[in-house]
Amino acid sequence: MNLPFRAPSPPSCNDIPVLRERGQREVFCGLTGIVWLHRKIQDAFFLVVGSRTCAHLIQSAAGVMIFAEPRFATAIIDERDLAGLSEIDAELDRVVNRLLERRPDIKMLFLVGSCPSEVIKLDLKRAAARLSQLHSPKVRVLNYSGSGIETTFTQGEDACLAALVPFSPLPANGYVPPLLVAGALSDVAEDQFRRIFADMGLPDVGFLPARTAGAMPAVAPGSRYLLAQPFLNDTARALDERGAVHIPAPFPLGAEGTTGWFKAAADAFNIPAAKFRAATDAAHIRAKLALEPHREMLAGKRIFFFPDSQLEIPLARFVAQELGMEPVEVGTPYLHRQHLAQEIGQLPAGTVVSEGQDVEKQLDRCRDSRPDLVVCGLGLANPLEAEGFTTKWSIELVFTPIHGYEQAGDLARLFSRPMDRRTRLGV
């Protein structure tokens, strides 16, 4: 915990009490990350090797039943596979062949491990290597686990990106971009970030993941990287193992978070202060302006976060620092103290941070504290609304472009709209 905190000297994160709980966790598993990853990497396909539950989860999770042709599927393990009556390698080969015949446009295939595949110790790493050889060079086959016994919601993206890192190309000319941004961002935010980095004098920034399989950025010893998302524990470790160096930063949410994030990069590359300000000032001011109407509606309101995406701490920092809200409890599935050091340090004193979950007890605490706004998953939102709470379903915070200056107002609107709606409805 020797990372620099931002002025004015905030309370140390040790001042923030952390409530650790074990019990029923009302969270998604890592397979859910496929819902946005399959749209982000446009020539990748995600094949879950799992049970009917996995298939059902993904199609139900984010209302994706509305997509007619997704780039994901499940290879459903059946009793013959479990009883050893079928040769599981041959079965997987057959399924993958059928899939690739149907989708000849696919360049990268992820075999995604699940709870059942982990419990029966199916070796998907070996399978991926074998299938990669079979379908090379047309299709590269990688694997990661999105199982619920190992991953929570956004950790699926972490596992996916971590699997990509060892395969990031080393270009023939040896050139590697000096800066890498890790974490799937909306395309619009990514484009804005590129422009700002270019204005700062960093025209060549790699984004992981890239939008196509062939465009994944190179990583080499000495590469610097910024995390765009707070849940990338394994990805950061994989980058470290390649010799890349992490730039500690807050997360690019809201005007302040975004400026802090770019500033960390500017400092790391010794970019003159004037150049940094020229690149960011206008957007920073614009973002503050966009936040103003939401701040009027939200200032002084009390907010309760149920654990979901690990974005909770940076979001709580944003709503407290930039919108004047008062976080009552901030739940997160995991608390990565090092990556979140600059965020957690800026939470107002008295905020309860909870890690893990016992959903019934947390609901009791939520009801007792009567917050003005509850941020929670889809399983809890309508029942809490029916009890009279105003809620914001948290998955929207993952599926909406919220990063960066130009999205700061949109992010604030996600919190203000449920309150706005309450005041409008006369029924």
Give φ, ψ of 147 to 5 degrees. -70, 150
60 contacts another protein (rule: CB under 8 A):
yes
Q: Is there binding between residue 379 and another protein (CB under 8 A)?
A: yes
Handedness of CA 288, 289, 294, 299 (dihedral sign): positive
Phi, psi of 372 (to 5 degrees): -80, -25
Cβ-based nearer residue to another protein, 203 or 379: 379
308 binds another protein (CB under 8 A): no
> In the complex, what is the shortest distance from the CB of residue 207 to another protein, in angstroms, rounded to a whole number?
28
Quick one: how far is CA 415 from the chain centroid?
Answer: 18
Task: Answer yes or no whether residue 31 interacts with another protein by CB under 8 A.
Answer: yes
Tokens 């059928």 sit at which residue?
A: 98
Q: How many helices (H) and strands (E) does the chain have?
A: 17, 14
Stretch that binds another protein, among 124-132, 190-198, 271-279, 378-386 (CB under 8 A): 378-386
Confirm or reject binding of residue 421 to another protein (CB under 8 A): no
Smallest distance, another protein to C-beta of residue 237, A = 17
Asked whether the beta carbons of 179 and 220 are under 8 A apart, the reply is no
Task: Give Dmax over CA atoms of the chain in angstroms.
Answer: 69
Judged by CB under 8 A, the residue of 7, 20, 79, 221 near another protein is 79
Which range binds another protein by CB under 8 A, 1-9, 94-102, 273-281, 404-412?
94-102
Question: Is residue 98 a contact point for another protein (CB under 8 A)?
Answer: yes
Number of other residues whose CB lies within 10 A of the CB of residue 173: 6
369 binds another protein (CB under 8 A): no
Contact flag: residue 252 with another protein (CB under 8 A): no
CA gap 317, 344 in Å, rounded: 7
Shortest distance in whole angstroms from residue 108 CB to another protein: 18
d(CA 96, CA 319): 45
Rule CB under 8 A: say whether 370 interacts with another protein: no
- E-strand ranges in 156-243 read 179-182, 205-208, 224-227
Give the N- to C-terminal CA distance of the chain in Å, as an integer. Answer: 51
Is 152 among the residues that bind another protein (CB under 8 A)? yes
* Burial (0-12, 13-18, 19+ Cβ within 10 Å), 180: buried
CB of 87 to another protein, least distance (A): 10
Q: Which is nearer to another protein, 186 or 357 (CB)?
A: 357
User: Under the criterion CB under 8 A, does residue 102 sit at the interface with another protein?
Assistant: yes
The count of residues interacting with another protein (CB under 8 A) is 65
Whole-number Cα distances in Å, 332 to 19, 153, 257, 325, 374: 10, 11, 19, 18, 14
Applying CB under 8 A, which of residues 61, 244, 311, 325 lies at the interface with another protein?
61
List the one residue from 77, 159, 185, 311 that touches another protein (CB under 8 A). Answer: 77
- By the criterion CB under 8 A, which residues form the site for another protein? 23-32, 49, 51-53, 55-57, 59-61, 63, 65-70, 73-79, 81-82, 86, 88, 91-92, 94-95, 98-99, 102, 115-116, 118-120, 147-150, 152, 360, 377-383, 385-386
